Structures are given as C-alpha cells and as structure tokens.
Amino acid sequence: DPDDERICGRIYKMAKEFPRDGRFLSGSHRETLWEKAYMLVGMEDLMTYLYTEPGFVREVFHRVMDHHLGIAKHYLAVGVEIATMGDDLGTQLGPLLGPRIVNDWLVPEYRRLFQVYKPRGVIINFHSCGNILSMLETFMELGVDVLNPVQATANDLDEVRRVTHGRMALSGAVSTDT
C-alpha cells in the first residue's frame, strides 16, 4: 500500500529535511517494472508466463505499476524534480527481451508512470544495465531525459551518442574495469 505511513511517511520526512540549496530533490522507483515483477514471480516463470499465462503477467505488471503510481503521488506532493527509475533490460551482448515484448508489455506500463511526471516538468532518469542500443528510440519516445549508466563494456558508445545527441542526456559510461 503506497499510502501506508511506513512507506509514504519517510517521503515526507526526508523531503522536509532536504536542504533546498540548489540541489535537485529526487524520488526513486527502484526496480520499476520488469525487475520487480520477476522478483515477485521468478524470472524463468515470468518469461514462460508471457506465453502461457499472458493475462496473469499483465495483471502483475499493472499492479506493480499501480504501486509506483501511488508512490509518485507522494513524490509530486513534496515537489520532486527528478524521478529515477530503472530495469536492467540488457545483457552484455544485446537486449534481454525482444522488441515485441518490450513494446507490447513494458512500454504501456512505463507510459502510465511517465505521464504522471512529464506534464509536471519532472526529469526522468532511467537506469538500465547492459546493451540497450535497440531500446534508445523507445526510451526517448517515452520521455526519458537521462539514461544511466550507458554501460561501456556492452554498448557502442559512439553509436549511443550519435543516436541520442541533443535528445537525451547520458550518465555514466565509465567501465567498472577502470
């Protein structure tokens, strides 16, 4: 329950204590959709259920996002300026999920959350590890303002820069081997 005082109470307490000295007030939606769903169901089961029990998967995704929408209401009430979100959608070699699954299953739910923040001018900072080159256009169409971490070992950084130039800020891209 996103209105449970044990959850939302911390949001108001921390926002009240936040020094309004030029820093951005940020709210976090960790493991936003894909990761939260597979943590609840199990990754292998979730991938199987996309084909064997699609109604169940839609319900899980929808309920997970309903929770985030409830949290977003509280973040907006305290004046967050940046909403951080993310799901690790890539592997070292390519996307974890095919474009049809991303577009048909994840994008509609992400859009629900983004549409709460974007009209209010909240910056969307989205995290995804792995090779996500094939998803850049989707992220930009959804309204992602900042993409993190742009994993250097999994992406062609010159191509990522070319595709996103002037349309989305990039954060990271320093190899963890460095």
* Residue 118: band (very low, low, confident or very high) from pLDDT cuts 50, 70, 90: very high
pLDDT for 124 equals: 98
* Residue 20: band (very low, low, confident or very high) from pLDDT cuts 50, 70, 90: confident
State pLDDT tens for residues 29-59. Answer: 999 999 999 999 999 999 999 999 999 999 9
3-state secondary structure the chain: CCCCHHHHHHHHHHHHHCCCCCCCCEEEECCCCHHHHHHHHCHHHHHHHHHHCHHHHHHHHHHHHHHHHHHHHHHHHHCCCEEEEECCCECCCCECCCHHHHHHHHHHHHHHHHHHHHHHCCEEEEECCCCCHHHHHHHHHHCCCEEECCCCCCCCHHHHHHHHCCCCEECCCCCCCC
pLDDT for 177 equals: 64
pLDDT for 175 equals: 65
pLDDT for 25 equals: 96
| pLDDT over threshold 90, residue 178 | no
Is this prediction's pTM over 0.75?
yes
